[in-house]
């Protein structure tokens, strides 16, 4: 069991109130924004090609999510991502539904090839497909996971110089050196719309709090903390509700009231 201090990262986010520029799934725009606000970050949802570059340059973090995909979204992501790369703003990419259609596969390939990503995050099926480890997706959900996925992730992270994350019943995070295994969370997180999208947005806040041009290990630590805090909030919310209808609201409340003692008592992180 790790003594990793996720609580200090939560304090950093709340002190910094990082501006997170989201180009995200339109189904969950409001949900992602509320999750960021509840945790203490500052969201902005900007999609127009005419302003995404300017917005990315002034943001603390950029979160790209291809959940509702079209050519305009891809172009906006590339404009924003390249602007962020120019000034050292960390970029988080969520290849939602990669493996479901050739169009999504092509879009994910373009983004990963043309941008310098700080964090690549998807569910285990998506990451398996994208990294060529096997696996499958069903729509935007993970259907199966490739064999030895954590090691494939580690090799990809080392090659690309980014943090790679696969989320599921157990979340795996690697910076190309260390592989973290995160066991917090609750099944109700999979029973609401946008749980993965919220995770991506919150990753944008935590790496944003780490600052521009930070080293990869710092960004990896921020990612481990982000997922741990989010999943613990999910556990706390689940204890207060009967089902998914009220879980989402309880999750916002849990993010808002999350404190160091809850994190330190509940965190389950192994290396």
Which residues participate in the annotated binding site for substrate? 45, 194
DSSP the chain: -----HHHHHHHHHHH--EEEEE--GGGHHHHHHHHHHHT-EEEE---TTTHHHHHHH-SEEEEE-SS--HHHHHHHHHHHHHHHHHT--EEEE-TTBTTBHHHHHHHHHHHHHS--SEEEEEHHHHHHHTTS--EEETTEEEE--TTHHHHHHHHHHHHTSEEEEESSSEEEESSS-EEEE----GGGGGSTTHHHHHHHHHHHHHHHH-TT--HHHHHHHHHHHHHHHHHHHHHHHTT-SSHHHHHHHHHHHHHH--HHHHHHH--EE-
Residues in the annotated binding site for ATP: 121, 167
Residues in the annotated binding site: 45, 121, 167, 194
């Amino acid at each position: 069991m790790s003594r990793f201090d996720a609580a200090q990262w939560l304090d950093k986010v709340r002190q910094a109130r990082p501006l997170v520029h989201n180009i995200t799934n339109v189904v969950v725009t409001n949900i992602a924004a509320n999750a960021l606000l509840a945790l203490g970050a500052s969201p902005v949802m900007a999609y127009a090609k005419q302003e995404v570059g300017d917005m990315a340059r002034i943001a603390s973090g950029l979160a790209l999510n291809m959940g509702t995909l079209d050519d305009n979204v891809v172009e906006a992501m590339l404009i924003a991502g390249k602007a962020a790369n120019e000034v050292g703003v960390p970029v988080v990419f969520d290849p939602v539904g990669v493996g479901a259609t050739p169009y999504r596969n092509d879009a994910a390939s373009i983004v990963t090839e043309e941008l310098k990503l700080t964090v690549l995050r998807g569910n285990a099926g998506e990451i398996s497909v994208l990294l060529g480890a096997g696996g499958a997706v069903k729509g935007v959900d993970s259907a199966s996971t490739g064999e030895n996925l954590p090691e494939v992730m580690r090799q990809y992270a080392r090659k690309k110089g980014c943090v790679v994350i696969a989320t599921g019943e157990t979340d795996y995070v690697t910076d190309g050196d260390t592989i973290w295994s995160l066991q917090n969370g609750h099944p109700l997180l999979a029973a609401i719309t946008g749980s993965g999208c919220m995770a991506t947005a919150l990753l944008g806040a935590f790496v944003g709090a780490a600052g521009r041009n930070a080293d990869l290990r710092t960004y990896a630590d921020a990612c481990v903390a982000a997922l741990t805090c989010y999943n613990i909030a999910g556990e706390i919310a689940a204890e207060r509700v009967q089902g998914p209808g009220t879980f989402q609201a309880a999750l916002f409340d849990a993010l808002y009231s999350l404190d160091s003692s809850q994190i330190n008592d509940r965190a389950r992180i192994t290396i």
